[in-house]
């Protein structure tokens, strides 16, 4: 199965989400320890929740790589003085890193579900949880409503990725090339959705 692509996606997602955690910590003017914690939970929170759901020891506890990645990302962000920028969440680097992390972790979550031979619903839950769990924890830590509850076309991307990968698996077409295509298409979709401000339909309340 296309686990080489998944490994690359996982690494990219970890770096991207650690960077987004750094930017949020910079906006909140946290100290170095606070920013590092945000980097860690954003990059690894979703994966840890996923692993708990499939009853295995979270990968973040099995080796020091996630710790090193978060530390390096924080130090690079600090060295590049990104903490001095205003409105960092609207910065192109934040939007891109968040989109890459979302898509990459959607792929890794879905592939874990497929590897455990879960049905479609289980695969979609793991993809969604892996992709959004870290961001939810990050936002709660800084006292904000999680982006997934208020943002535009966001969590839907994770569900579409899971649906696509499950379909490919069902037809015996889950190759590295096809996983890469799904990853790239989902990234483009997320960036287009952001630029065009696509919204998921909302319930409208009528005034009495």
Give tens-digit pLDDT for 176-187.
Answer: 889 989 999 999
Task: Please give the Cα distance from 131 to 123 (Å, whole number).
Answer: 12
Contact assessment for residue 21 and residue 89, using Cβ atoms and an 8 Å cutoff: no
Domain total of the chain: 1
66, part of any domain = yes
207, part of any domain = no
Q: How many CB atoms lie within 10 A of CB 33?
A: 9
Task: Please give the Cα distance from 145 to 174 (Å, whole number).
Answer: 36
51, part of any domain = yes
203, part of any domain = no
And the tokens for 187?
Answer: 């990234």
Contact assessment for residue 111 and residue 7, using Cβ atoms and an 8 Å cutoff: no
Q: Is 207 helix (H, G, I), strand (E, B) or coil?
A: coil
133, part of any domain = yes
205, part of any domain = no
| pLDDT tens string 115-162 | 999 999 999 999 999 999 998 999 899 998 887 776 667 888 999 999
167, part of any domain = yes
Q: How many CB atoms lie within 10 A of CB 100?
A: 22
And the tokens for 37?
Answer: 């914690």
Contact assessment for residue 95 and residue 147, using Cβ atoms and an 8 Å cutoff: no
pLDDT number for residue 160: 95
Residue ranges of the chain whose pLDDT lies below 70: 1-6, 82-91, 150-152, 200-208
Give the global pTM: 0.85
Range of the domain at 25: 3-195
């Amino acid at each position: 199965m296309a686990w080489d692509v998944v490994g690359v996606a996982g690494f990219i997602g970890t770096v991207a989400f650690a960077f987004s955690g750094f930017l949020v910590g910079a906006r909140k003017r946290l100290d170095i320890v606070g920013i590092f914690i945000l980097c860690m939970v954003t990059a690894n929170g979703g994966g840890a929740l996923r692993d708990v759901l499939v009853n295995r020891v979270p990968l973040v506890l099995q080796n020091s790589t996630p710790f090193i990645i978060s530390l390096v990302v924080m130090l690079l962000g600090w060295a590049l003085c990104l903490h001095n920028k205003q409105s960092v969440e609207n910065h192109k680097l934040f939007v891109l890193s968040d989109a890459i992390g979302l898509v990459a972790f959607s792929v890794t979550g879905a592939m874990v579900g497929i590897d455990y031979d879960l049905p479609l619903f289980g695969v979609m839950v793991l993809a969604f949880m892996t992709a959004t769990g870290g961001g939810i924890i990050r936002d709660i830590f800084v006292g904000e409503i999680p982006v997934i509850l208020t943002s535009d076309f966001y969590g839907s991307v994770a569900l579409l990725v899971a649906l696509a990968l499950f379909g490919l698996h069902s037809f015996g077409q889950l190759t590295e090339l096809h996983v890469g295509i799904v990853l790239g298409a989902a990234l483009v979709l997320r960036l287009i959705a952001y630029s065009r401000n696509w919204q998921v339909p909302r319930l409208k309340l009528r005034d009495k």
